[in-house]
Amino acid sequence: MSEYYSALLKNKISDDDIQENAKQLVDSIEVVPVSKHTVMESYSIKNKNRYSYWDSLIVTSALQNNCTVIYSEDMQHNQKIENQLNIINPFL
């Protein structure tokens, strides 16, 4: 959710629109907390893929929760991670 919010702000979407859309999004998806285990595992993803800490945390959380797609403008479009997770840049 943080990545979503940040990316939309960078792309000049109004804060009110982002908040309203985020509320609708939260109602339709599962939002999971970040655990100590997720943080510790993210270091391995960071070192392996050379991502920022925050991107590594997102990737690790997605992998732990069996996600198959991450929408991000910061990571390589169409990259596949751990044969499970596809990175899609929604702004292309």
pLDDT (tens digit, 9 = 90+) per residue, 43-58? 999 999 899 999 999 9
Q: Is the pLDDT of residue 16 over 90?
A: yes
pLDDT at 91: 84
Asked if 31 and 44 count as a contact pair (C-beta separation under 8 A), the reply is no
pTM, rounded to two decimals: 0.76
| φ/ψ of residue 80, rounded to 5 | -115, 130
Any residues with CB less than 8 A from the CB of 21 and at least 6 apart, and which?
A: 8
Closest CA to 18 of 5, 7, 3: 5
Q: Is the pLDDT of residue 3 over 80?
A: no
Any residues with CB less than 8 A from the CB of 54 and at least 6 apart, and which?
A: 2, 3
Residue with tokens 């990545």, as numbered in its chain:
3
Would you state the structure tokens that stand for residue 55, as one six-digit string?
């991107």
pLDDT band at 90 (very low <50, low <70, confident <90, very high): confident
